[in-house]
Chains A and B, each alone.
Chain A
Amino acid sequence: MRILGLLHTRCLPFSRGHMKNLASMVLSGVVLLLVAGPVVSRHDYAAQDRDLILSSPGSEHWLGTDSLGRDNFARFVVGGRLSVVMAATAAGGACAVAAFVGTIGALGGSAARTATAIVFDVMLSTPWYLLVFVIRAVLPLDTSAGVTAAVTFGILGFIGWAHGARAIRDAVLGMVTGPWIRQARATGAAGFTLWRAHIVPNVGPVLVTQFLLLLPTLMLGEATLGMLGLGIPEPLPSWGGSLVELVQTNTVLERPWALVPALLLAISSISLRALAGGESS
């Protein structure tokens, strides 16, 4: 978001509001594609057509087929749904934990502040790829694809909460010393009432921004793990898993439609970060 913020302030001739609207429209298009895709597609994502392996786009298979004769369009759309839904769930969970820990860190006195600062440091110093590797390595070999996918996103969400918690702690600390909180205190508000009526409504936008920033991070993290063969496992589709084909030398030249998941990821990621930028302003 830092780089998008810089990009906006330096080069774009329109306001943050316009950028937010544009990002919303693009995201709506992606969501519509992911929701309506399986309805309009005539193929199941797992169905194999052994006579049509690695076929080109046509009226039967809109984006061709993969090396097992499965419809690429159906796999991209279902994979996208899976990536987005699981990333959103993990990001939501991470933001809930971030809100809880961040608020405690800000309002819980000096001991709580030191303790949460230490926890943030420990979390942020963890090399997350290796943590995912370790947990994937200890999973039993007969773990189902669904559970493995949930565990992968769970770990990514677990790693992601610390950034948000620190932002929320700083935001709440700023609010506590703000004029309207002082005024509320002067009028007798304290404890839970003060928290519910004056802090929670103002933490909302920070939380939304953190969610919008974390969502693309988790999607991109899963995609990278997928390209390393450690993302959502087969037979479940995912954007990261679909990109594995690109590792072969001639794929891009011979079948450029294999780039569609990367394009959708980039569009979604840029739009979500632009929305986060608009939200934070």
Chain B
Amino acid sequence: MRLALSCSRFFLTLATAYVLLTALLWYAPGRDLDESLWGTAQTLANEPGARTFSSYFEFTRWYASELVHGRGGTSIQFGVPVSELIAERASTTLTNAWRGFAAAWVMALTAGVAAHFWPGIGRLALGAGSVVLSLPAAFVVVALALNGVAPWVGLAVCVWPKTYAYWQTLLQMARKRAHVLALLAQGAGPWRLQWHAIWLPNTRQLFGLLAVSVPLVLGALIPVEVLCDQHGLGQLAWRAVAGRDLPLLTALTLLFTAVTSGMSLLAETAGLEAK
């Protein structure tokens, strides 16, 4: 029942995003102009200007069928199908996102485990994390990029403080549980305590945390790709704004919304309060 409710929320999120975005496209300034340079609903058609829609509902129906068939209209700026552009750039984004995500988790888990044995490292990690969180993500990315650091490291540095904070909260809650206190009283060693009493019983929540960190990575991806000149989907979205390329921007927003909502659904399924 709970899973069904979560799934219905997922589809409702997508439907809301779809309705809002298509409404924006339909009512965008310049809709009535017969020029493919303007972001109009009409230019979503594969041949700009060739298709006309008599109503908003007709347009949404047509756009939905385009999305279902994996097309999503034609980019105004680049003059090629949106799906082609996304396919072309997805690999860069996936590579950056995957490396950044993995590095953020390695940093968070290493700091978390080290803090258990040497509290000084925990203090250092918390101090560094609060400084990173108090600066604009773009500033952190630029500071690292100017020092020759790879873009995915910038991504990891932006994401790890939140991952670490979630992880530490989860550990703190776990340490207060009765079975952990009982093991402590029996004189269990620190590794045994970490592994058997804290990590293993929290595997589900750990998967939930993994799912929660994906939207964090996606959020930091745009400044990273724009400022480090990475030809990925984040940079594509930014270029779409500069070129007022609404068909491309709509498709990218729907894609990112689907991923974010999907990850929230996964986190919820894992029994974790997602955000």
Interface membership of B271, Cβ < 8 A: no
Chain B proximity of A131: nearest CB distance (Å): 7
Category for how many chain A residues contact B: 35 or more
In the complex, the answer to whether A230 meets B241 with C-beta atoms within 8 Å is yes
In the complex, the answer to whether B244 meets A137 with C-beta atoms within 8 Å is yes
Interface residue ranges of A1-23 to B (CB < 8 Å)? 2-4, 6-7, 10-11
Question: Is the contact region of chain A dominated by helix, strand, or loop, or is it mixed?
Answer: helix
Query: Which residues from chain A contact B249 at a C-beta distance below 8 Å?
Result: 130, 133-134, 137
| 9-residue interface stretch from B79-87, B97-105, B162-170, B196-204 | B162-170
In the complex, the answer to whether A137 meets B136 with C-beta atoms within 8 Å is no
Query: Which residues from chain A contact B242 at a C-beta distance below 8 Å?
Result: 229
In the complex, the answer to whether B29 meets A138 with C-beta atoms within 8 Å is yes
In the complex, the answer to whether A122 meets B260 with C-beta atoms within 8 Å is no
Question: Is the contact region of chain B dominated by helix, strand, or loop, or is it mixed?
Answer: helix
Interface membership of A262, Cβ < 8 A: yes
In the complex, the answer to whether A125 meets B219 with C-beta atoms within 8 Å is no
Contact of A265 among B13, B135, B246 (CB under 8 A): B135
Chain A proximity of B187: nearest CB distance (Å): 24
Nearest to A266 among chain B residues (CB) is: B134
Chain B proximity of A31: nearest CB distance (Å): 17
If A127-B256, A133-B240, A134-B253 touch, whether A6 touches B168 (CB-CB below 8 Å) is yes
In the complex, the answer to whether B130 meets A247 with C-beta atoms within 8 Å is no
In the complex, the answer to whether A7 meets B28 with C-beta atoms within 8 Å is no
Interface membership of B109, Cβ < 8 A: no
Interface membership of B48, Cβ < 8 A: no
Contact of A4 among B130, B240, B260, B261 (CB under 8 A): B130
Interface membership of A199, Cβ < 8 A: no
Interface residue ranges of A208-253 to B (CB < 8 Å)? 216, 220, 223-224, 226-230, 240, 243, 246-247, 249, 252
A-B pairs, 9 with minimum CB distance:
A227-B138, A223-B136, A269-B134, A127-B256, A11-B123, A125-B261, A7-B126, A3-B165, A130-B253
**24 residue pairs bridging A and B, Cβ less than 8 Å apart:** A2-B169, A6-B126, A10-B126, A118-B12, A122-B13, A124-B274, A125-B215, A127-B219, A127-B253, A127-B256, A127-B257, A127-B260, A130-B222, A130-B252, A133-B253, A227-B142, A228-B226, A230-B238, A246-B143, A249-B146, A266-B135, A269-B133, A269-B135, A270-B130
